[in-house]
């Protein structure tokens, strides 16, 4: 792929999933975000939003929701953009998965902060995939943990972009948390692909199953956006306590039809991430959360994922939430839903 050729097009037309308000500037080389903390974006309606300034230490995060949402809008098209789209689709068909992957995955190689910056004790973890790549993650322990919350993040940035969410999760769900970067993200080796992310998820779970802490091997998988597809795939392979999918899409071809409804070639995309097909196969307790104002993945797609799964299952709409601010808009009710789900999953155990 010619460096810089598709950069502006990617920003405008392909969704990028990052934690609420984190401003992202696409560059071919990795860049370190400018850091500042502002309280002006928080609405103060929940305890979580009122305590943001107390949670974050001064430093490198700019929670500018308006700026980030401007980057994420992808439903406006010009005729010039339409012609360019036709060229891109043809390039994907002829050029194969490598060009396709450049539109789906938006990694950042720079780990800009660590959990200690928000007051969390953590263990730096490196583990190896079946195809020999070294991956990087963080294990964040909790003294009262009876389970481990395994986080599969979305398609943009890296684990250091999720610190605010990590802090709030740690303080509210009382579980160990393990978050890691897929190949090509942060300090993880390699280049991202659909099959590669499955190998990465497999390696992450196998690593956790070797740990000896109380609750470390009792796993609740959490996937957000693209990570929902990876978490759902892992739920078909391993015995787990429960599966949580936040803002899941039906599949990559279905998302492409939302973004490019006039394009006839979307069924030819090689990357599938078919979440509906995966949840039909799972044999575990399921929770699906989705913001009813999600501007990237339609709310209806989250409902379709939920409807495809077998019982026991629960659907939790997050009223007023867009794609990247679910845990802020949802406030205390959001974390209570997660906490209650985990407690029930622990009490009922692994389904055989």
Q: What angle do CA 190, 196, 201 make, to 5 degrees?
A: 110
Query: Buried b vs exposed e over 72-109: b needs ≥16 C-beta within 10 Å?
Result: bebeebeeeeeebbeebbebbeeeeeeebbbbbbbbbe
The whole-angstrom separation of Cα 283 and Cα 235 is 8
In-domain check, residue 1: no
Question: What pLDDT does 259 receive?
Answer: 82
In-domain check, residue 252: yes
Pairing of strands 134-140, 123-128: antiparallel
Using only C-alpha atoms, the chain has a radius of gyration, in whole angstroms, of: 19
- Decide if 326 contacts 293 (C-beta within 8 A): no
Question: What pLDDT does 256 receive?
Answer: 86
In-domain check, residue 230: yes
| Angle subtended by helix axes 79-95 and 97-104, to nearest 10 | 130
Our count of domains for the chain comes to 1
The whole-angstrom separation of Cα 159 and Cα 180 is 6
pTM value is 0.79
What residues does 268 pair with on adjacent strands? Answer: none
- The 10 Å Cβ neighbour count of residue 266 is 19
In-domain check, residue 2: no
Question: What pLDDT does 52 receive?
Answer: 37
Q: What is the pLDDT of residues 181-214, one digit of tens each?
A: 999 999 999 999 999 999 999 999 999 999 999 8
DSSP 115: G
Question: What pLDDT does 33 receive?
Answer: 34
What DSSP string runs through 141-207? --TT-SSEEEEE--SEE-GGGGHHHHHHHHHHH-SEEEEEPPTTSTT--S---HHHHHHHHHHHHHH
Q: Is residue 303 reached through a cis peptide bond, with omega within 30 degrees of 0 on the bond before it? A: no
Question: What pLDDT does 88 receive?
Answer: 54
In-domain check, residue 233: yes
Question: What pLDDT does 80 receive?
Answer: 43
Question: What pLDDT does 270 receive?
Answer: 87
Q: What is the pLDDT of residues 145-177, one digit of tens each?
A: 999 999 999 999 999 999 999 999 999 999 999
Full residue range of the structural domain in which residue 213 is found: 7-348
The whole-angstrom separation of Cα 270 and Cα 272 is 6
CATH assignment of the domain containing 261: 3.40.50.1820
In-domain check, residue 100: yes
In-domain check, residue 65: yes
In-domain check, residue 190: yes
**Which stretches of the chain score pLDDT less than 50?**
1-15, 20-84, 94
- Decide if 134 contacts 184 (C-beta within 8 A): no
């Amino acid at each position: 792929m010619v460096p810089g050729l598709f950069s502006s097009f990617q920003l405008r037309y392909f969704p990028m999933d990052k934690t609420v308000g984190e401003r992202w500037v696409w560059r071919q080389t990795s860049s370190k975000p400018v850091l500042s903390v502002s309280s002006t974006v928080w609405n103060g309606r929940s305890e979580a939003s009122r305590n943001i300034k107390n949670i974050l230490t001064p430093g490198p995060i700019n929670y500018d929701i308006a700026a980030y949402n401007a980057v994420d809008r992808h439903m406006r098209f010009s005729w010039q953009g339409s012609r360019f789209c036709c060229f891109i689709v043809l390039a994907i068909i002829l050029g194969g998965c490598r060009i396709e992957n450049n539109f789906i995955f938006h990694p950042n190689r720079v780990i800009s902060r660590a959990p200690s910056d928000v007051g969390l004790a953590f263990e730096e973890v490196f583990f190896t995939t079946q195809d020999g790549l070294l991956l990087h993650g963080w294990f964040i322990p909790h003294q009262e943990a009876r389970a481990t919350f395994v986080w599969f993040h979305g398609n943009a940035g890296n684990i250091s972009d999720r610190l605010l969410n990590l802090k709030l999760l740690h303080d509210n769900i009382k579980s160990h948390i393990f978050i890691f970067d897929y190949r090509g993200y942060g300090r993880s080796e390699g280049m991202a692909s659909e099959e590669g992310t499955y190998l990465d998820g497999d390696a992450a779970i196998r690593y956790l199953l070797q740990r000896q802490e109380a609750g470390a091997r009792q796993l609740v998988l959490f996937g957000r956006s693209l990570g929902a597809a990876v978490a759902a795939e892992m739920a078909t392979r391993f015995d787990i306590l429960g599966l949580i999918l936040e803002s899941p899409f039906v599949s990559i071809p279905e998302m492409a039809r939302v973004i490019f409804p006039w394009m006839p070639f979307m069924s030819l995309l090689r990357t599938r991430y078919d979440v509906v097909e995966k949840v039909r196969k799972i044999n575990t307790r399921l929770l699906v959360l989705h913001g009813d104002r999600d501007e990237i993945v339609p709310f209806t797609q989250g409902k379709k994922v939920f409807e495809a799964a077998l019982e026991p299952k629960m659907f939790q709409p997050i009223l007023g939430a867009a794609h990247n601010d679910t845990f802020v808009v949802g406030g205390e009710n959001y974390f209570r839903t997660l906490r209650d789900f985990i407690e029930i999953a622990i009490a009922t155990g692994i389904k055989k």
